[in-house]
Amino acid sequence: MRKRYPIKFSSQLVKTVYYPAELKSKWNNVERIAFGSYSCEAKIKSHPQNQDIIVISEDLKDELHFPDMMIPLHLFYENDTLFIGPIVGIFTSGFTPFPLRPIGDRSLFFSKLLSVEKSVGAITFVFGEQHINWEEGLIEGYFYHANGWEKHIVPFPNVVYDRLPNRLSENRKEQRLVKERMQSEYLIPWYNPGFFNKLDIYERLYNDISVSQYLPETEPFTSFSAIEQMLSQYGHVYIKPINGSLGLGVHQLLFDKVENYYYCRYYDEDGEKKLRKFSTLESLMNTIFRRRSLEKMIVQQGIPLLRYENRPIDFRIHSNKDANGNWQITAMAAKIAGIGSATTHVKKGGLIKSLDEIFNQEEKKLYIPKLREAALKLSQSLEKNLEGIIGEIGFDLGIDKEGNVWLFEANSKPGRSIFTHPQLKEFDLLTRKLSIAFAIFLTEKSIYSPGEIFK
């Protein structure tokens, strides 16, 4: 674990930095101090009273636009420069003019995310494209502390954590330009870019022998006959939007071989639960999907899932990169489908349960290692097969009645509904801490071996 050091500011010193005494034997001829994208010459020496703290003169603090915050930070040394940080910018959209809720309904989420900065050792802030001063290399960022939200002007960060809320904001030209400029002109690592596309994920994982066994058959919609064939083979299928999320637009199609009828379970535009019966697949498709663009849908094999109180279960598994750049499984929960629902989403009547609540000891020994192994292998495969830097993933996994694990969905910006469960609070904190701690790893890489990041 890298060591963090307390910081003090001094009005008695001029253009001076004291670094911790225990590092004296490591560093010689340090001539510059850097904070984020700003750096300047300074008198840099070990602490004269042999204290293991960082002391920065007030004039340097002002020149570097160092915010007045007592957060223990990390030190990195390269090319006669001492880097203090990291400073982590969290990029998003949806800002409001209201000081108490500057990011609208998501202000609470961001305040909780920023609250881990002291325990991790990073200065964190939230910003949007409208807060950037490209000419000066400065950002007016939103910081959260005990007194609430504050705005401070700081240099461009060491690392950017992408928390754009949806595909619409992600596809805006202004947002894309920010990402391109910060990566290409300033060599700032940018992690968790882009929402996943279900079909693209399937196709990239399909040829990876280490994870292909977890993939249910998934096809782009091509014809009614292809659906007919999958229904005949599996008994039920799901039709999902390629770029869908939160269970929106998911339809379950079932074929009753005894009665020779087709059924469709879904939610209508008013959020009402529906189960409709048809004599032919063609009449089902023409009635239910007449207003939908089927070329933007996928058809996925239905799986006979484990059940809890006769309701299907799937599992949300969170994985995060840690401060050493390694994948960790950080949270596991069961999601139980609402009665008569096609999905397990809470907004569709689903329930969140801890694994202790649904499994006995024997089942836990059997299923938990399988879920962990699948999520780790899938995380490593996605990192290998996708562009960009991935720092966290939320998986929706299922287990069938034979004990096989299946991947239903991978989310690059996973929702956090499972953390409303009282037994998952500690995992809520762990996922937030690691999502920021990964920025320390990226900062170190960008200083010592940038070629490994900007390939």
User: Is 40 within the bounds of a domain?
Assistant: yes
User: Is 451 within the bounds of a domain?
Assistant: no
As a whole number, mean pLDDT of residues 428-445 equals 96
CATH number of domain containing 122: 3.40.50
pLDDT at 205: 94
User: Is 159 within the bounds of a domain?
Assistant: yes
pLDDT at 452: 85
* The pair of three-digit structure tokens given for residue 10, joined into one six-digit string: 């001094």
pLDDT at 455: 66
Residue 40 has pLDDT above 80, yes or no: yes
pLDDT band at 83 (very low <50, low <70, confident <90, very high): very high
Tens of pLDDT along 230-282?
998 998 999 988 876 656 778 999 999 888 899 998 888 777 888 899 999 98
pLDDT band at 153 (very low <50, low <70, confident <90, very high): very high
pLDDT at 451: 85
Does one domain contain both 291 and 416? no
User: Is 448 within the bounds of a domain?
Assistant: no
pLDDT at 24: 79
Q: What residue type is assigned to position 220 of the chain? A: P
Does one domain contain both 229 and 311? no
pLDDT at 347: 62
Does one domain contain both 184 and 202? no
* The pair of three-digit structure tokens given for residue 257, joined into one six-digit string: 């071989």
pLDDT at 111: 96
The percent of residues above 90 in pLDDT, for the chain, comes to: 70
Residue 344 has pLDDT above 70, yes or no: no
As a whole number, mean pLDDT of residues 396-401 equals 95
As a whole number, mean pLDDT of residues 159-182 equals 94
Does one domain contain both 136 and 247? no
Does one domain contain both 225 and 210? no
User: Is 455 within the bounds of a domain?
Assistant: no
Supply the pTM of this predicted model: 0.92
Domain count, the chain: 4
Does one domain contain both 315 and 383? yes
Q: Average model confidence (pLDDT) for the chain? A: 91
User: Is 313 within the bounds of a domain?
Assistant: yes
Q: Could you tell me which residue, 155 or 350, shows the higher pLDDT?
A: 155
Of the three residues 245, 280, 301, the one that is the final residue of a domain is 301
User: Is 330 within the bounds of a domain?
Assistant: yes
Of the three residues 301, 327, 361, the one that is the final residue of a domain is 301
Does one domain contain both 106 and 172? yes
CATH number of domain containing 396: 3.30.470.20
The percent of residues above 70 in pLDDT, for the chain, comes to: 96
pLDDT band at 342 (very low <50, low <70, confident <90, very high): low
pLDDT at 288: 86
Supply the range of the domain harboring residue 166: 88-188
Does one domain contain both 203 and 338? yes
pLDDT band at 39 (very low <50, low <70, confident <90, very high): very high
Tens of pLDDT along 347-386?
666 789 999 999 999 999 999 999 999 999 999 999 999 9
Residue 449 has pLDDT above 80, yes or no: yes
Does one domain contain both 246 and 316? no
pLDDT at 247: 61
As a whole number, mean pLDDT of residues 199-212 equals 91
Does one domain contain both 138 and 204? no
Residue 413 has pLDDT above 80, yes or no: yes
As a whole number, mean pLDDT of residues 310-335 equals 95
User: Is 415 within the bounds of a domain?
Assistant: yes
Residue 343 has pLDDT above 80, yes or no: no
Of the three residues 85, 104, 131, the one that is the final residue of a domain is 85
Tens of pLDDT along 284-317?
988 888 766 777 888 999 999 999 988 889 999 9
State the helix-helix crossing angle for 224-234 and 281-288, rounded to 10 degrees.
120
Does one domain contain both 69 and 94? no
Does one domain contain both 243 and 337? no
